[in-house]
């Protein structure tokens, strides 16, 4: 067999693999109003399932470890040669931790004795370079190695997250708060739609004095009942549920929903909101709406939620092809 035929066969195989992988990828579209929590969900997915952020962070951490090591070698050399450095800084540099706290490294790298030592002694260029750059590198780091809350509150936009869970590939796509009809066409029969609702909007009024959640009900209706999504299961997240206790203490839910006859408590309010949204599904026999009260800013909640969502989606896929 000549080389060309072999290459072409290899390409065919690769294409087949790509097609196969794409078919096996569960695509999930994340929609919802501004500020509802879509980005928060995406970021949590990125941190716990995708892994690329953690790799990036480990890199930052490694840099910090290198700086600590270099600083330790330099300071040991200086002390041997009789240079004097602040004792408390030196002690903290040599504690057992693999990385020394940033503020100690910064103070040491700015110490005039260190500068003097480097001028008076011939130390390897790369070691010199590493110390001179240490302060720049450390200054550039805005955060300590990794702080989930800092990351969740950052303005770094995130539009897709891919991951593999229980041997299935998933891609979550955040479309922002604008679901134009043209755009929706690209997601025809997507494997699932996650609609994020900020539950606090139930207790907020728009300029007409009506609860803002009424606009969300309309959005939900228009989105899920589009022709393109008529087979896609819907996952409704009543998000920011951690806020509901505070809101109930301040307001009467019935003041916002005159037809509401339930009590002013979490369970009954939650059941009512779920019912209002789920009742808008015009294809109840073809696909379902699964609703959950969530707090997407809490890591443990998101991890449990993703297990449930992925399970629901896999079950729905099986149901569509005839398994009960």
Ligand X SMILES: Nc1nc2c(ncn2[C@@H]2O[C@H](COP(=O)(O)OP(=O)(O)OP(=O)(O)O)[C@@H](O)[C@H]2O)c(=O)[nH]1
From residue 237 to residue 276, what is the string marking binding to ligand X with x (rule CB under 6 A)? --xx-xx---------------------------------
Does the protein bind ligand X through residue 148 (CB under 6 A)? no
CB-nearer residue toward ligand X: 78 or 296: 296
* Residue nearer to ligand X on the CB measure, 40 or 70: 40
Asked whether residue 117 is marked as a ligand-binding residue, the answer is no
Question: Segment near ligand X (CB under 6 A), from 28-36, 74-82, 87-95, 309-317?
Answer: 28-36
Q: Is 242 annotated as a binding residue?
A: yes
Choose, by CB under 6 A, the member of 48, 92, 176, 264 that binds ligand X.
Answer: 176
240 is in an annotated binding site: yes
* Cα–Cα distance measured from residue 204 to residue 199, given in angstroms and rounded to the nearest whole number: 10
239 appears as a binding residue in the annotation: yes
Counting contacts by CB under 6 A, is residue 39 touching ligand X? yes
Residue 152 near ligand X by CB under 6 A = yes
Q: Is 280 in the site for ligand X (CB under 6 A)?
A: no
Q: Which is nearer to ligand X, 135 or 177 (CB)?
A: 177
Q: What is the 3-state secondary structure (H, E, C) of the chain?
A: CCHHHHHHHHHHHHHHHHHHHHHCEEEEEEEECCCCCHHHHHHHHHHHHHCHHHHHHHHHHHHHHHHHHHHHHHHHHHHHCCCCCCHHHHHHHCCCCCCCCHHHHHHHHCCHHHHHHHHHCCCCHHHHHHHHHHHHHHHHCCCCCCCHHHHHCCCCCCCEEEEEECCEEEEEEECCCCCCHHHHHCCCCCCEEEEEEEHHHHHCECCCCCECHHHHHHHHHHHHCCHHHCCCCEEEEEECHHHHHHHHHHCCHHHCCCCCCCCCCHHHHHHHHHHHHHCCCCCCCCCCEEEEECCCCCHHHHHHHHHHHHHHHHHHHHHHCCCC
> Does the footprint of ligand X cover residue 37 (CB under 6 A)?
yes
With CB under 6 A as the contact rule, the residue among 237, 296, 306, 309 that binds ligand X is: 296
The two counts, helices (H) then strands (E), for the chain are 13, 6
Q: Does residue 212 interact with ligand X by CB under 6 A? A: no
Between 281 and 295, whose beta carbon lies closer to ligand X? 295
> Whole-angstrom Cα distance, residue 250 to residue 244?
10
Residue among 26, 27, 28, 32 that touches ligand X (CB under 6 A): 32
Our finding on whether 64 is near ligand X (CB under 6 A) is no
Among 27, 29, 40, 193, binds ligand X (CB under 6 A): 40
Residue nearest ligand X by beta-carbon distance: 39
Quote the least distance from Cβ 146 to ligand X, whole Å.
17
Query: Positive or negative CA dihedral for 313, 244, 225, 175?
Result: negative
Contact positions vs ligand X (CB under 6 A):
32, 34-40, 152-153, 176-177, 239-240, 242-243, 295-297
Binding residues for GTP: 239-242
Binding residues: 239-242
């Amino acid at each position: 067999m000549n080389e060309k035929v072999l290459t072409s066969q290899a390409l065919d195989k690769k294409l087949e693999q790509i097609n196969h992988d794409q078919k096996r990828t569960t695509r999930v579209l994340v929609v919802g109003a501004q500020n509802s929590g879509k980005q928060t969900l995406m970021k949590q997915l990125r941190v716990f399932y995708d892994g690329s952020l953690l790799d990036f962070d480990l890199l930052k951490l490694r840099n910090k470890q290198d700086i600590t090591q270099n600083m330790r070698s330099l300071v040991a050399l200086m002390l041997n040669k009789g240079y004097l450095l602040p004792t408390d800084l030196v002690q903290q540099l040599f504690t057992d931790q693999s990385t020394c706290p940033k503020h100690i490294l910064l103070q040491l790298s700015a110490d005039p004795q260190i500068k003097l030592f480097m001028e008076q002694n011939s130390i390897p260029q790369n070691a010199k370079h590493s110390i001179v750059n240490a302060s720049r590198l450390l200054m550039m780091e805005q955060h300590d190695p990794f702080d989930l809350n800092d990351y969740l509150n950052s303005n770094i936009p995130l539009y897709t997250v891919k991951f593999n869970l229980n041997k299935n590939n998933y891609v979550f796509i955040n479309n922002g708060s604008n679901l134009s009809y043209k755009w929706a066409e690209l997601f025809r029969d997507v494997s699932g739609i996650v609609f994020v609702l900020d539950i606090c909007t139930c207790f907020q009024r728009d300029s007409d004095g009506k609860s803002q959640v009424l606009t969300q009900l309309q959005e939900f209706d228009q989105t899920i009942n589009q022709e393109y999504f008529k087979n896609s299961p819907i996952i409704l997240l009543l998000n920011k549920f951690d806020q509901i206790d505070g809101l109930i203490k301040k307001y009467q839910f019935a003041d916002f929903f005159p037809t509401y006859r339930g009590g002013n408590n979490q369970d009954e309010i939650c059941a009512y909101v779920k019912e209002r949204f789920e009742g808008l599904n015009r294809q109840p026999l073809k696909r379902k709406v699964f609703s959950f009260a969530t707090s997407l800013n809490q890591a443990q909640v998101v991890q449990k939620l993703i297990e449930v969502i992925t399970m629901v989606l896999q079950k729905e896929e099986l149901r569509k092809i005839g398994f009960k």
